[in-house]
Amino acid sequence: MKFLANEWILIPLFGICVFTFVILWADKSIAWLHKRSLGQREEVIRIMRLMGMETDQKKITILILLLSFGLGALVFLAFWPSVIVGAVFGCSITIAGWQLPLLIVRFLYERRCTVFVDQMVDGITIMANGIKAGSNPQESMKRVVEIMGNPISQEFSQVLYQMQVGDSFESALNDLGNRIPRPDVQMFVTSINILKETGGNLAETFQTIVTVIRERQKVEKKIQALTAQGMMQGIIVTLVPFFLLGVFAVIDPTFIKPMFTTTLGLVLLFAMLALQIIGGVLIKKLVTIKV
Residues 129 and 152 in one domain: yes
Dihedral through CA 66, CA 70, CA 72, CA 77, nearest 10? -170
Question: How large is the average pLDDT for residues 219-246?
Answer: 79
pLDDT at 29 over 60: no
> 80 with 86: CB under 8 angstroms?
yes
Whether 107 is in a domain gets the answer no
Q: Is 232 found in the same domain as 201?
A: no
Between 259 and 117, the higher pLDDT residue? 117
Domain boundary among 184, 212, 240: 212
Q: How confident is the model at residue 33 (pLDDT cuts 50, 70, 90)?
A: low
User: Is pLDDT larger for residue 75 or for residue 178?
Assistant: 178
Radius of gyration, CA atoms only, the chain: 26
114-165 tens-digit pLDDT? 899 888 888 888 888 888 887 787 888 888 888 888 888 888 888 888 888 8
* 136, 204: one domain: yes
Q: How confident is the model at residue 1 (pLDDT cuts 50, 70, 90)?
A: very low
Cβ of 103: how many Cβ atoms within 10 Å? 10
Does the structure show a pLDDT above 60 at 182?
Answer: yes
Same domain, 183 and 236: no
Boundary residue ending a domain (195, 212, 229): 212
Please give the residue range of the domain that contains residue 151.
115-212
Q: Give the count of domains, the chain.
A: 2
Q: How far is CA 30 from CA 35, 52, 142, 170, 203, in A?
A: 9, 32, 49, 42, 55
Question: Bigger pLDDT: 183 or 60?
Answer: 183
| Domain boundary residue, one of 212, 229, 251 | 212
